[in-house]
Structure 1
Amino acid sequence: MTLIFAHRGAAGTHPENTMAAFIEAEKAGADGIELDVQLTKDGEVVVIHDETVDRTTDGSGWVKDITYRELRRLNAAAMWDGKHGHCPIPHLEEVLAWLSSTRMAVNIELKNSLIAYETLEQKTISLVRRYGLEKRTILSSFNHHSMRLCRTLAPEIETALLYIEPLYAPWTYVRAMNADGVHPHYRTVTAEFAAEARRRGVAVRPFTVNKRNVMKTMFAYGVDAVFTDYPRQAKQWKEKTP
């Protein structure tokens, strides 16, 4: 059965990567949430997608150059015309503390391809362990070196490799990386690919699936999960799928 992960929370209807978006995802009945982590200037693990705060907040600058205290003053709902009030950028600990009281899983994407945040892996894993969420967590990244390090540091936590272009012989690569799954762009996923992944015990979770026809196709392929900005809508489509 295909699970539904709310991409950056319910990012289609709420400010992405905020507690408001995550809480809405739970209310919508999502099986899990997906979020992105980076490090502040003073080394705190914060939940934000872009390497700068410009697109999603009323501030500007690189996350790596801003202290946690300064970052918390920014409004991550600034682009929503006051609809959601003031939403601070969450600390990963805040999200995990809340998540531990739910039944949902979490996919934590380490945003360390452009900036090689030192100790991001160690700090993220430490917080996951602090809340006993090892079995409900998937770590993923486009930085596959980082995923290999995570597997070494925390073999008990699932890892998945993000990619956009089709991979040749992905199973050989996944095995070499000692990973558990792949998170491909949905356009690269075929029925044959999904079937072969199942046969080889490799989880497949395509991103970012927002259109009804694509969602129905992914359900038909039997992928392990989809990442979507609209978990409420996805759940309705799933329930109507024969």
Structure 2
Amino acid sequence: MTKIFAHRGSAGTHPENTMIAFYEAERVGADGIELDVQLTKDGQIVVIHDETIDRTTDGTGWVKDFTYRELKQFNAVYKFVDQYDVCRIPLLEEVLAWIHPTSLLLNIELKNGLIAYEGLEQKVIDMIRHYGLEERTVLSSFNHNSMLFCHHLAPNIETGLLYMEPLYDPWKYVRVMKAKGLHPYHRTVTESFLHQARHHGIAIRPFTINKESLMKKMFAYEVDAIFTDYPRLAKEILKKTP
């Protein structure tokens, strides 16, 4: 059955990439959570999507230019300011310590396409190993070189390749890149593509599946997983899917 990953937590109903968004994802029965990581000025792994803090916090500037102590001062409540008081940018370690005793799966997206955070791969892998989450974690990125590097560092942690446009001969490419999953933009996913993926033993996890009609389509295709901002809705629709 298709797994449901809460994209940046329950980002449609709670401030994205914050602990309360992750708590909500577990509460509504998501199979896993998806989050994004970057490095601070002092080398801490923080959970935030954009390379700047402008959109999701009350501050401005680049994540890489702040220490974690400085980043903690900003409120990451985002567009939910009327519903929630204060939400801080969490450390990856905070999320892993929380997720460890649960049964949740985890997708960690490395946001190193624009900024080549030196040492990000090793730091993230070390943290995953510290909490013994190798078997429950998928690493993903639009930076495919980074994913190949992650495979070399930790062959036992699955990698997934994020992409927007259709790939030519993706089955050959995914083998070369040592990945076990493709994370495509949903518009590139077709039924024939899914049949080929099953033949080649590759997991397909499209993003970002928020509309009810699109959820039904992906569930009918029996994709391996979806990333959605609305995990509760997705769970409800999946239960009704024949």
TM-score by length of 2: 0.99
Q: Kindly indicate whether the alpha-carbon contact (under 8 Å) linking 1:208 and 1:228 is maintained by their aligned counterparts in 2.
A: yes
Shift in Å at residue 81 of structure 1?
A: 2.2
Q: Kindly indicate whether the alpha-carbon contact (under 8 Å) linking 1:57 and 1:79 is maintained by their aligned counterparts in 2.
A: no
Q: Kindly indicate whether the alpha-carbon contact (under 8 Å) linking 1:38 and 1:47 is maintained by their aligned counterparts in 2.
A: yes
Letter of the structure 2 residue corresponding to residue 199 of structure 1: H
1:100 matched to 2:76: no
**For residue 206 of structure 1, what is the aligned residue in structure 2?**
206
> Identical aligned pairs, as a percentage?
67
Q: Distance in 2 between matches of 1:203 and 1:125?
A: 21
**For residue 38 of structure 1, what is the aligned residue in structure 2?**
38
Q: Distance in 2 between matches of 1:39 and 1:131?
A: 19
**For residue 73 of structure 2, what is the aligned residue in structure 1?**
73
Report the 3-state secondary structure (helix = DSSP H, G, I; strand = E; otherwise coil) of the residue aligned with 1:117: coil
Shift in Å at residue 79 of structure 1?
A: 2.9
Report the 3-state secondary structure (helix = DSSP H, G, I; strand = E; otherwise coil) of the residue aligned with 1:234: helix
**For residue 221 of structure 2, what is the aligned residue in structure 1?**
221
Letter of the structure 1 residue corresponding to residue 114 of structure 2: L
Range that drifts further, 76-85 or 185-194 = 76-85
Q: Distance in 2 between matches of 1:65 and 1:208?
A: 29
**For residue 55 of structure 2, what is the aligned residue in structure 1?**
55
Q: Where in structure 1 do 4 or more consecutive aligned residues deviate above 4 Å?
A: none
Q: Kindly indicate whether the alpha-carbon contact (under 8 Å) linking 2:55 and 2:78 is maintained by their aligned counterparts in 1.
A: no
Letter of the structure 1 residue corresponding to residue 119 of structure 2: T
Letter of the structure 2 residue corresponding to residue 186 of structure 1: H
**For residue 89 of structure 2, what is the aligned residue in structure 1?**
89
**For residue 155 of structure 2, what is the aligned residue in structure 1?**
155
Q: Distance in 2 between matches of 1:238 and 1:130?
A: 34
Q: Kindly indicate whether the alpha-carbon contact (under 8 Å) linking 1:140 and 1:161 is maintained by their aligned counterparts in 2.
A: yes
Shift in Å at residue 82 of structure 1?
A: 3.7
Report the 3-state secondary structure (helix = DSSP H, G, I; strand = E; otherwise coil) of the residue aligned with 2:112: coil
**For residue 16 of structure 2, what is the aligned residue in structure 1?**
16
Shift in Å at residue 84 of structure 1?
A: 1.5
**For residue 176 of structure 2, what is the aligned residue in structure 1?**
176
Shift in Å at residue 46 of structure 1?
A: 0.2
Report the 3-state secondary structure (helix = DSSP H, G, I; strand = E; otherwise coil) of the residue aligned with 1:235: helix
Shift in Å at residue 184 of structure 1?
A: 0.1
Report the 3-state secondary structure (helix = DSSP H, G, I; strand = E; otherwise coil) of the residue aligned with 1:16: coil
**For residue 115 of structure 1, what is the aligned residue in structure 2?**
115
Range that drifts further, 96-105 or 81-90 = 81-90
Per-residue CA deviations over 1:76-116 (Å, capped at 9, x if unaligned) read: 10432241211100000000000001100000000000000
Cα RMSD (Å): 0.6
Q: Kindly indicate whether the alpha-carbon contact (under 8 Å) linking 1:139 and 1:160 is maintained by their aligned counterparts in 2.
A: yes
Letter of the structure 2 residue corresponding to residue 109 of structure 1: E
Q: Distance in 2 between matches of 1:139 and 1:41?
A: 22
Letter of the structure 1 residue corresponding to residue 146 of structure 2: S
1:166 matched to 2:144: no
